[in-house]
Amino acid sequence: MKTVVALAILFATTVAASAQQRAPRPANPPSDLWCREMKIGEGSSIPYCMAYTLEQCLASRNNLNERCYLNPIYDPRFRR
């Protein structure tokens, strides 16, 4: 039983350490790193970029239909 518990703890710490290595966070992220589609009327929306983290963006949504995304200014897929 002690072996199983020790292996479970080892596995959990290994997974947590690898997850932190894969997603490094900048020391000072820009205040507009994350955007959300803010609904302004029937079927229309505007980008609202005022979140440091994805969690902050998700918490600021007015309803579940508003999506959060990385600001295109900082998204490497849109750089030339």
pLDDT higher for 8 or 32?
32
Q: Give the per-residue SS3 of 24-48.
A: CCCCCCCCCCEEEEEEEECCEEEEE
Residue that wins the pLDDT comparison between 7 and 40: 40
Phi, psi (degrees; rounded to nearest 5) at 3: -65, -40
CA distances from 60 to 29, 30, 50 (A): 18, 17, 9
Number of structural domains found in the chain: 1
| Average of per-residue pLDDT across 65-71 | 90
User: What's the domain range around 6?
Assistant: 2-78
Share of the chain above pLDDT 70, in %: 66
